[in-house]
Structure 1
Amino acid sequence: MPLVSVIIPIFNVENYLKKCLKSIINQTLKDIEIICINDGSSDSSLNILNDFASSDERIIVLSQKNHGPAKSRNEGLKIAKGKYIFFVDSDDYIQDYTLEKLYENAKNNDSDIVMFKISEFIREDELLQTNRFNLDEVFEDTDFNNFTFTYKDIKPYVLNNSFSAWSKFYKKSFLDSYDDFTFPENLILGEDVPFHVKSLIRSSKISFVSDYLYNYRVSNSNSIMHSDKNRNDIFKICNLVENDLKNEDCFEEFEREFSELKRNQIYHYAMQAKSEDYLKTAKEEISKLDLDKLSNRLFSKANVILECEDIADFIVKKYELEISELKSANEIIIGNIRQSYANLMDDYNKLKQKNKKLKQKNAKLKDKNSKLKEKNKILSDKNKEILSSRSWKITEPLRKMKKGD
């Protein structure tokens, strides 16, 4: 039984696949299996997979018709034999020590899930460390090799943070203890959100590695993601999450966060919508929310959808709101700059006054030093006079005799 099963859905990523696979086969933790699901690629991705598999027996290659990442991950879960499960997207890559650090942390803490930090990149040589899962700021001065927590300790991360399947490291026995830890295969957008939410809520032991272990490629989404048909998936996702929260008896606990999640997702996809049907459904779904539970900013964005008459009207209202937000943000920035300037001027004036006093003190010291030099010259001249005097020379034998005594 391998220690870790790495599951990789693959679809038309010939330009990135080699880097992804190399980052996994070169892991410092060697006892792993690498399950690659070719999701109907039409480029050379399958050839690359077969080349790698021919030289590394840990690589398992499966092929299927194009169904999307959800089915690919589900197929990988069905055959995975590892004690732990780790998902990787085929255009991303991980640090060489990622699996070792995650495995050691999970073993030490006997945790169901391990969370960690994530870097983003457009170019491989320009990694940007993100603020996703910065749990070392939540749990300060903590030895994370001997520390676990539950979702109640990190509530803001459950519904409004990184939902990606690859952003957690899972104990397989924990996933197997439920019969519904699968990804919804009939959806294109947000298929990993329900999996994320259920896993965090159900876990009795979550742990954390405070290293940046996963490198996520920021790229333009496939055009299939941008169709209004697929945008409607977000309504289904929100319904699934709502049902899951209710089934776990914690919907009331998350009602505010759920309202924010739904508003955020619907507004995000409405910004690029082209059909009246999507906007109509968006208005219906937003109207179901208890808007009083939203912050002022989210309330304003929800109203943009509710008040629009059509796509053109929505775009106008959206940009008006964004301009208003930019103006407000600009005023805050200007206010902060002015305050900073005032503070700097205050510090400058204090330093100026202090410098003036130091100059006065320095002048007094210079005057005192000058007087001491003058006094020292007088004493030096007097000493020379004494040493050259006749009486000093006459008494020299007596001084020598005294020293001899």
Structure 2
Amino acid sequence: MIEHVAVIIPVFNGEKWLEECLQSVADQSILKINYVKLSVSVYNDASADNSKQVLDCWRLKFENLSIDFIVTDNCDAPGGVGFARNRAIDVVLAKNESIEYFCFLDCDDVMKPQRIEKQLEMCRLNQNAIIGSQFIRNDAATVRFTDWCNNLSGSLLETQIYTSHGPTVAMPTWFIHRSKLQKFSEEGTGTPEDLLFFYKHLRNGGKVKRVDEKLVFYRYHPSNTTFSIKSETIWNVKLHFFIEDVLEKLDKFSIWGAGKLGKQLFRSLPESIRHKVTQFFDVDQSKLKHGFVNLPYLPDEKSKWVPIEHVDSLKSPFVICLKLNLLGFEEILAKFQFLEGVDYWIFN
């Protein structure tokens, strides 16, 4: 039985990187396996550079490799990454309804030759999961993000999902079965469409798995779509899902961290959820000495004075609002027998 994989590539002004990106598709080891069929669907989202010319040059190359190469051009205003991915998926499915698997690749990234083969192998056994992989990054500015994504324990891929890093498996490494396919947000530039997809996937019972090999070169550069997304937008998306999927189901909870992050979370909560907060925990004596955290800018009296205790008295359930690299944080947590995703959640 033939298995059919579609590689989905949104393109917007990708001339600089397209050659290397497409060559990495042509170099896939899966092409040597005769029971796997590969299609590549590119949506050129109104690029103003020479992306179209580069794509045209690859038609014959892919044809010689028996790869279906579909390029769709948007001649109107750019619709954004989510829009482009949706169009690329729609077009390839219209041409071949037998496609079972989707491999996502951004036009500025590069796949290692074994990527599709390795992820297809895992996806066969986990058809309800987003399959990610470890990746290589080309800069020093995102070392903490890279280390976190590559080394996060597999048991936390579905629980440590409210940090500042975003999805626990990076979008350019995603590989999924058709049964878990959904529409990406088409709200355009400034929308974290991957984060929205990720949360909805989990909410619908989806799982998250990772191939622990570096299968993608995830390029960092000033034109990355990430830079168009405001931190406030990401905070609001995370908070929306955190409230609905976690906090609304708790009778009460506390917050570890009475600093800027903890107070920001507290005042961002709707009043009904704020009233579930029983206390703050911290280690800073300057915060502990008064016995209360004063939040005078909140409208209801109950929220203006919240008790605070030393973290040695920590009780579940609680939310951790601290920087993950804070010195001593993990040592303190290790003293307790708490389980992440059951007794506590990290939100930062």
Quick one: which amino acid aligns to residue 119 of structure 2?
L
Measured in 2, the distance between the counterparts of 1:187 and 1:222 equals: 11
Per-residue CA shift, 1:114-148, capped at 9, x if unaligned? 1321210159xxx999324446x635xxxxxxxxx
| Superposition deviation, residue 253 in structure 1 | 6.5
Residue 173 of structure 1 pairs with residue 175 of structure 2: no
Change (3 A) 1:121 1:236: closer
Change (3 A) 1:187 1:259: farther
Aligned 8 A contact 2:8 2:40 in 1 = yes
Counterpart of 1:376 in structure 2 is none
Please, what TM-score do these two structures have when normalized by structure 1? 0.53
Match of 1:63 among 51, 70, 73: 73
Per-residue CA shift, 1:149-204, capped at 9, x if unaligned? 7x7x741145443434323221111225xxxx422423424232111222234344
Paired residue secondary structure (1:16): helix
Match of 2:114 among 97, 100, 103: 97
| Superposition deviation, residue 76 in structure 1 | 1.9
Residue 73 of structure 1 pairs with residue 89 of structure 2: no
| Superposition deviation, residue 8 in structure 1 | 1.1
Aligned 8 A contact 1:7 1:76 in 2 = yes
Quick one: which amino acid aligns to residue 73 of structure 1?
R
Aligned 8 A contact 2:128 2:179 in 1 = no
Match of 1:211 among 210, 213, 227: 213
| Superposition deviation, residue 294 in structure 1 | 8.9
Quick one: which amino acid aligns to residue 131 of structure 1?
D
Long gaps (5+) in structure 2: 32-36, 94-98, 288-292, 298-322, 329-348
Match of 1:46 among 52, 75, 78: 52
Quick one: which amino acid aligns to residue 105 of structure 2?
V
Quick one: which amino acid aligns to residue 104 of structure 1?
E
Return the structure number with greater strand share: 2
Match of 1:120 among 137, 156, 178: 137
Measured in 2, the distance between the counterparts of 1:209 and 1:239 equals: 30
Quick one: which amino acid aligns to residue 47 of structure 2?
S
Measured in 1, the distance between the counterparts of 2:107 and 2:28 equals: 16
Change (3 A) 1:253 1:97: farther
Return the structure number with greater helix share: 1
Measured in 2, the distance between the counterparts of 1:34 and 1:106 equals: 19
Aligned 8 A contact 2:43 2:72 in 1 = yes
Measured in 2, the distance between the counterparts of 1:35 and 1:252 equals: 41
Counterpart of 2:39 in structure 1 is 33
Match of 2:146 among 119, 125, 130: 130
Where do residues 245-284 of structure 1 align in structure 2 (5 Å cutoff)?
249-252=245-248
Counterpart of 1:88 in structure 2 is 105
Quick one: which amino acid aligns to residue 29 of structure 1?
I
Paired residue secondary structure (2:107): coil
Long gaps (5+) in structure 1: 140-148, 265-282, 308-324, 333-405
Aligned 8 A contact 1:4 1:33 in 2 = yes
Counterpart of 1:9 in structure 2 is 10
Quick one: which amino acid aligns to residue 88 of structure 2?
G
Aligned 8 A contact 1:27 1:97 in 2 = yes
Aligned 8 A contact 2:158 2:202 in 1 = no
Measured in 2, the distance between the counterparts of 1:201 and 1:84 equals: 21
Please, what TM-score do these two structures have when normalized by structure 2? 0.60
Per-residue CA shift, 1:294-333, capped at 9, x if unaligned? 9789xx9xx9xx99xxxxxxxxxxxxxxxxx9xx97xx9x
Measured in 1, the distance between the counterparts of 2:241 and 2:145 equals: 32
Measured in 2, the distance between the counterparts of 1:128 and 1:160 equals: 11
Change (3 A) 1:21 1:53: same
